[in-house]
Structures are given as structure tokens and as C-alpha cells.
Chains A and B, each alone.
Chain A
């Protein structure tokens, strides 16, 4: 029984969106319930992937969970090819996990045009999951670009006062990077001996140094804008501040990961020589991002903007881990992607809760909140500690692995980057101190309701994973490890020291077009 579980995960949200389209727009409660149920079902459908994916070192077939490709646009050799491996598995699960939480978080916050909002959200989920699963470069590009439209609408229609500026800026920044990537895709495509966009075939072909350099730069620009890496980050604070809470959660939690994932899946393995050559540049930008993001966070007056800038810093860690070119750093970077999705997603949700009650996000408007909202404050504290990487929470594992990996391969950068951890503690804890402790200075803060049941419902699952990853990361790292090792072999130049040459299979084994044994059955 060929069961297309991955495709089902991608296209279920589309089906939900179509179902929502048929409901009258006045029935807002029904629409919300339908979207929640739909996104929960999508999550449940995606969950078996975790168990179905059982990678074994040395068994190349087990590294991928692939669906049999379908012909799509034969004239160009485009196929509908999807699959997951250790790199994308948790990003897919993160997406399907965060979406129902986002629907819950927008329950009361979104009052206008609920129907259009929920449809946009479902389409966004489809595009995001598709981006992570696509193994055909054309298909990837289609999902990558298709994601722009719903996100543009979510920021632009349901956002804050400067929403239009933020939405247009978001769209244009991403678009400029993407179109150059399109040219690079075309250039690479015509270098291939046969007309195909099959990623496995692309992995197997070697490209000349000149082509690698230019194409890597074009891909890197597209992905660096998305990550965002310094100096392409300026769209991020605007988009985050103006987006509605759920929009920010998805933006920080998933969309930014599309950039780092793009580096891992496409830019680095395809053009690995250029990636090696330009590693110092990328490492420097990553470290500048870490320190710069942290310093700018330190002086923010708006909590949401502070969290937004902290993303620049956190994503810098991910990039540092990837460009360390070793197993520890890459696993750390990959795990940090998930961690950031959980912690920063949760922070945006929490800031959203405050905003719904007080309609302000300025630090100066708060103070002493812990007295009136004890449960909320406790949760906020936990998430803060996870975000700054306290041992026992997920953030620690990720940052520690990244720094460990970077220390081995890129010592000077690692030393500077480590200061980012300290700075993170400074800006986060200082913010927490000013918001939650001290005396209540504003009359309006005297009577704030603590967490409602609905809010508990979307916060607790995240807290669960914060501790799970923090205490027993092996559940996650174990699934990532074989793919990370395989990835390392692809990005390492020939002759370089291999991490586990004995246990890892020869990389040529993966190049062969996937046969029936790769199918999900």
C-alpha cells in the first residue's frame, strides 16, 4: 500500500482552506473550529512520520523517507518529488505543531475577516511544509515563493499601524533574493547532463568553481535574507512588530528556518567548494549577527521588537553551527532551529497575551506583573530561560553544541560568539526584571486576568518540548545524526577528514535515483 503520508501532510491544509471557503463568513466560530480541527488533524497525520523515519547508519535507503516521484512538467524534466530526512523531519513537525497553536492564539485576537485570515494561514502551512519536503528544485522554488502571498496578507491586513510598510518590505526583500536564486537554479539546470531538477541528480553532479561561486552567492543571498543574516535583517523587526501574534510566531518559528534549511539542503551541498571558500565570510556575518542582534535587543523599548532582534542573534548561532563544517556544530545548528522555533514562538505568544490585555508592548508600561499574573509570569520565566540557554532547557543543548562545534573548527569566531550567550542573558533578564518585578506603577496593570484555559492549552505543549529537548535531546538528535553525517560528507571537499568514514556509506549510494525501496509503504 503506497501511502502518501508526506503529500497528505502538505495538501491537507489546502483541503481545509477549500472547506473554509465554503463556509459563510459570518459563522466565525465555526470557521475557527474547522481550522483548528483541520490543523490538528494535519499534525496528527504528520506525527507518524516520526516513527516511520528510522535511519540506520550504513543503510543508505533508511536515510530518506521518500515518495515515488510523479511526473509534473515533463517538458522541463520537473517532477513532483517529496521526501523527508533527518534535516527536514523536525522542521515539518514543528510547522504542523505550531499551526494549531497559532489558530488557538488568534481565536479572540483576530476579529475582522476571520475567514480570509484562516484561509491564508492554511495556505501558508501548505507552502511551508511543501518547502521542507520538496526534493525537486523547481517544486521547492514554487513552494518557497508561494509562501510569500499568504504571509504578505497576514502582515498587511491583520497587522499593526505600519503594517503596509512592513508587508511590502517583507515581500520585496524576499523577492529580490529569490529571483536571483531562480537565475542560479537555471544556470545550474543547464549545466546538468540531462534536463532534470531532481535534487539527488544535482547532488551527484560536480560543478566548476566559477559556477559554484556565483550560484552559491545567489542562493546565499536568497537564504540570508530569509534567515535573516546581518546585513539583510532590516525587514525582520518591521515585519515582526507589525504582524499579528500568530503571524510573528510562524514568521519566527518556521519562516526563518526556511533560510537556514535552504543553506543546509541546497546552497551548501550543491556548491560545497564555494561554501568552503566563503565560510570565513559567512562565519563573520553570523557572528556579527549574534553580537549585533544582542546589542540592539539590549536597548529596545518594545518587548516584541526585543524578541525580534533576539531572533537575529539566535539565527546567527544556527549559521555558525552550519558553517563550522563538523557533526557537532551542524547537529547543534539543526537542533537550534527547532529550539528557536519553540522558544521564540512561545515568547511571541506570551507577548501577544500581554498585548491583548493591555494594548501596549512597551516595557515602560509594565512592572510588577508577577503579582497580578503569577502563572503567566512563571511560564514567561521558563521560556526566557530556555531562550537564553539555561541547562535543562532546550536552548542550552543547541547553543552548547554549536559553540562546541565552532570552537573546534572556527575558534576565533566561537570566542566572539560566546559573548552572545552572555548578552542574551543581559537583555532577556533585564527585560523580565522590568516587566514582571518591582512595584506596579500603572493603574491599568492592577487588574489583569491570568492565563485562560485556551492560553494554557497552547502554551503547555511548548513548555513540554522545551524540557524534553533540554533533558533528553537524544530523541531528536538520534534521528538527525545519520542525516547530518551524510550531509557532512557532501559538504566536505574530497580528501578532507571524514567524521565517521567507517560507519557512513559511500555518498555515491545516495546519488542513484530513488528506486521503489525508498517508497513509504
Chain B
């Protein structure tokens, strides 16, 4: 079993090379000495990510379920799909952070190093076929995100966010590790399909291990009742980081969750489906109710991201009977959610100033008059999150709830659509604040110091994608379906 299949590990390695390059650049040419080429770090990060996306696309047709490094990692279409989401999230994160970091006076090349290492960790998770590998990826991803959350070291709330995230994250990792240990005790292996081969609902050790694993994942995807860190961390972290991590961490964690559930816990379907059924209901209801009265836009989006985790869990639960529909709906929605949420936080980043992020909803009053295009973009993301057709969020929710109905979980779908009707209230509240209110005491306007073309580019690309891929979701949906199919082929 000495299969050093670097071939299967090449996409994450590409990101790793890029990251190493950026790190060397920081050491050889410290940031302070290269005033003239300040854009070098973000440009290199972008090139790395785009090149990786191109390479992933190239690998699509030759992707198989072969495992490498003694059953540690695979590069199937499922992994490729999630990798692309991660790289896209990273690329949009770079674009929206570019100017933001200068405005806030913390423009250090390390930011892009950490961003790439987050993407790397996520990609390891997406391809991991062994619990230890998942754990490794999760740690790389998490630790990088902890630092990114505290990147604005002079801002108190940023440090607070990092500390909170770190403590709760470490706590959740404990659960995860304990779960892995119990599973190893029950089956003598950490390899997913090996566990799946000897799994049975009679072993209490197995059930306990699965429950602990679900708790660990519950923290990472911010499912109720493991969500408590989310609002504080999302609010305190720098806005481009929040958008990036909301998308990337969710995508990686859901990818690992799907793989674990389908490969290792296939015989325990009844058990995990029951747990996830109630988790989904509680998460959707809690997230949407808590978001109703938020006065801070970042907290509002944080609670809404909890609600979106709930919708995604509907798709996961649907896998009890409809593995393919459920898994492909989850993949599609992860893609859709990444675009919407990164876009929304890119608007917040765009409006942020040196002193503070444009977090207070008060500041958005009358935004449509000051920044018509910005307001229109935010309205598009929010309507998409609310699931209004023909935007991509609608196609995503449609896929998720269709999977639930197909799996005879009509009640779950009903709770889901009602929760999403409830969510309309707070999304359109932001829209009316922007379009129908007059400016108040606090006014959020974009800094005019420099032309923020990367930010604009991120906004244009994401909002166009939300519209166009909402009207024509067919290609993305096909890829998601192929990814799900290959995951089931293990």
C-alpha cells in the first residue's frame, strides 16, 4: 500500500505551492521594502487560485474514485466540485479584501498566505477518505481562519472574534477527535469505507462515535445548538474574511460531512437521519427567528447563515432515501450560497472605513441614492438568499426541497419553506432600509481615497452570476449531480 499518488493530491498541492511562494516573498522582500509592487501578493494569490480552478477543470473528465496514500485521499468529481467552490470563494475573498486591507491600514502579505492555507485545508477535507485526513484538513483550515478573523489586530472586536472562534473551535475539535477515537475503538480503523464495512447500529461505541462526530461537524457548519459562536465571530471578523469563511468553511465541512455519512455511516442511515431531521428543523427556525430583529447587518447575515445551514441539512437528511438528489442539491446550494454570501459581505467590505466596518444597519438608510449600483447588488444577493426566482438561491432551495419531497419528507419541506418565507421579512427589511428610508445620523459611504476596482469586480461577477446562473442553472446542476454520483460510487 505504498501508493504515493501525488497525482491525486495535486490540486491542493498547487495551492500549497502558491502559498509557499507568497510566504517566501514576504521573507525575501518584506512588505515595507516593496512599496512599488504592493499588488504582488494579491495578484499571485489570484493567479494561484485561478490556475488551480483551471487545473481542476482539466482533471474533471479523468476523475475517478481511486484512493491514494493508503486510502487517505481521493480526487473524485465530488472533491473537484467542492475544490472549485473553495477556490472561487478564495478568489472573491482576495478581490474584496484587496482594497479593504489598505483602507484599514493592515495591508500585509500574510493575509493572502493565510487565505490560501485555508483553501488548502478545505481542499484536503473535500478529498479526504480517512477520518484522520479530515481532521488534518479541518485543523489547517480552522487555524488559518482563526488568525484571519483576528487579522485587524488593533480592532478589539476582531481580536475578540478570533479568541472566541479559537476557543469554541478547539472545543468542537475535541468532540471530533473523541468521536474518531471511539470509532477507531469500535472498528479498528479510521478509513471511511472500512468503517462503513463493519458499521452496525448494534454497537453503542459506534453510535456514540457518530454522535460526537456530528457534534463536531455541527460546530463547523453552525447548526443549532452549536451555533453560539457564529454571530460574534461573523460580526467581529473583518468583512471580507467573514464572507470568505462563511462560504469556505461551510463548503468544506459539508463536503466532509457528506462523505462521512455516505461512506462510513451508510448502515446507520436511520440513526443519523433522525438526528439531522431535528437539527435541520431547529436550525432553520432558530436562525430565521433570531435574524428577524438584528440591527447589525453582519449579525443579520450571521443568523441567516445559520438558517442556510439548516436548509442544507434538509438536503443532507433527504439522503436517507434519495442519496443522489440530496447530495447534488447540497452541492448546488453550497455553490449558490457561496456566491450570495461573499457578494453580500463584499458590499459591506466596500462600504467599510478605517475606523469600523459598515456594520450598523442604520448606516444603510437611503443607500440606494448614494450608491445605486451597490444597493442594487446587495438587494440581488438578499432576494436570492430569500429564494425569489429567477435568482440562484431559488434554484438552490428548489433543489433542496425537491430532494426532501422526493425522500417523502414533506413535513420537513413544509417547515423549510415556511422558515424561508419568514426569512423574507428580514431580507426585505434591509432592502427597504436602502431604498425607502431617508439617511439618518450614521451614514455608510464608500471611501473615495482610491478606486476600489477589485471590490467592484467581485461585486459585478458575483451579482451577474447570481442572476445568470439562477436563470440557467443547468450546467452547475449537472456538475453537482455528477459529483454526487461519483461520491456514491465508492
Provide the bound-state CA to CA distance between A167 and B425, in Å: 11
Binary per-residue interface labels of chain A (72-102) against chain B in the complex, 1 for a CB within 8 Å, 0 otherwise: 1111100000000000000000000000000
Binary per-residue interface labels of chain A (167-196) against chain B in the complex, 1 for a CB within 8 Å, 0 otherwise: 110011001101110110011011000000
B390 touches A180 (CB 8 A): no
Provide the bound-state CA to CA distance between A149 and B388, in Å: 8
Q: Which chain B residues border A74 with CB–CB below 8 Å?
A: 474
B424 touches A75 (CB 8 A): no
A179 touches B420 (CB 8 A): yes
Q: Which chain A residues border B473 with CB–CB below 8 Å?
A: 73
A153 touches B435 (CB 8 A): yes
Which of B418, B428, B435, B481 interacts with A171 by CB under 8 Å? B428
Say yes or no: is B381 at the interface (Cβ < 8 Å to chain A): no
Q: Which chain B residues border A72 with CB–CB below 8 Å?
A: 474
Provide the bound-state CA to CA distance between A179 and B477, in Å: 22
B402 touches A189 (CB 8 A): yes
Say yes or no: is A157 at the interface (Cβ < 8 Å to chain B): yes
Smallest CB separation, A72 vs chain B (Å): 8
Provide the bound-state CA to CA distance between A277 and B342, in Å: 50
Say yes or no: is A449 at the interface (Cβ < 8 Å to chain B): no
Binary per-residue interface labels of chain B (418-444) against chain A in the complex, 1 for a CB within 8 Å, 0 otherwise: 101100110011011001100000000
Which of A116, A172, A183 interacts with B424 by CB under 8 Å? A172
Q: Which chain A residues border B244 with CB–CB below 8 Å?
A: none
Which of B368, B417, B478, B481 interacts with A179 by CB under 8 Å? B417
A175 touches B402 (CB 8 A): no
Say yes or no: is B272 at the interface (Cβ < 8 Å to chain A): no
B389 touches A172 (CB 8 A): no
With contacts A167-B432, A176-B421, A183-B405 known, is A75 near B474, CB below 8 A? yes
Provide the bound-state CA to CA distance between A176 and B420, in Å: 9
With contacts A175-B421, A176-B421, A182-B401 known, is A146 near B389, CB below 8 A? yes
Q: Which chain A residues border B389 with CB–CB below 8 Å?
A: 141-142, 145-146
Q: Which chain A residues border B19 with CB–CB below 8 Å?
A: none
Say yes or no: is A389 at the interface (Cβ < 8 Å to chain B): no
| Chain B, residue nearest A188 (CB) | B405
Say yes or no: is B410 at the interface (Cβ < 8 Å to chain A): yes
With contacts A73-B477, A149-B388, A183-B401 known, is A172 near B436, CB below 8 A? no
Chain A contact residue count (CB 8 A cutoff)? 33
A156 touches B432 (CB 8 A): yes
Smallest CB separation, A118 vs chain B (Å): 15
B477 touches A180 (CB 8 A): no
Say yes or no: is B394 at the interface (Cβ < 8 Å to chain A): yes
Which of B372, B390, B417, B424 interacts with A182 by CB under 8 Å? B417
Say yes or no: is B149 at the interface (Cβ < 8 Å to chain A): no
Which of B414, B429, B431, B477 interacts with A75 by CB under 8 Å? B477
With contacts A73-B477, A148-B388 known, is A183 near B413, CB below 8 A? yes
With contacts A73-B473, A168-B425 known, is A156 near B436, CB below 8 A? yes
Say yes or no: is B406 at the interface (Cβ < 8 Å to chain A): yes
Say yes or no: is B311 at the interface (Cβ < 8 Å to chain A): no
| Chain A, residue nearest B473 (CB) | A73
B405 touches A175 (CB 8 A): no
Q: Which chain A residues border B478 with CB–CB below 8 Å?
A: 75
B390 touches A183 (CB 8 A): no
Say yes or no: is B303 at the interface (Cβ < 8 Å to chain A): no
Say yes or no: is B383 at the interface (Cβ < 8 Å to chain A): yes
Chain A, range 16-60, C-beta contacts under 8 Å to B:
none
Q: A residues touching B (Cβ–Cβ < 8 Å)?
A: 72-76, 116, 141-142, 145-146, 148-149, 152-153, 156-157, 163-164, 167-168, 171-172, 175-176, 178-180, 182-183, 186-187, 189-190
Told that A152-B431, A175-B421, A182-B401 touch, could you supply 10 new A-B pairs with CB distance under 8 A? A73-B395, A76-B402, A142-B394, A164-B436, A168-B429, A172-B425, A175-B424, A179-B417, A179-B421, A186-B401
- In the A-B complex, the 3 residue pairs with the smallest Cβ-Cβ separation, listed nearest first, are A179-B417, A186-B405, A142-B389
17 A-B pairs, CB-CB below 8 angstroms? A73-B472, A73-B477, A76-B402, A142-B390, A142-B394, A145-B394, A146-B390, A153-B435, A156-B432, A167-B436, A168-B428, A171-B428, A176-B421, A180-B417, A182-B401, A183-B414, A190-B406
Q: B residues touching A (Cβ–Cβ < 8 Å)?
A: 368, 372, 383, 388-390, 394-395, 398, 401-402, 405-406, 410, 413-414, 417-418, 420-421, 424-425, 428-429, 431-432, 435-436, 472-474, 477-478, 481
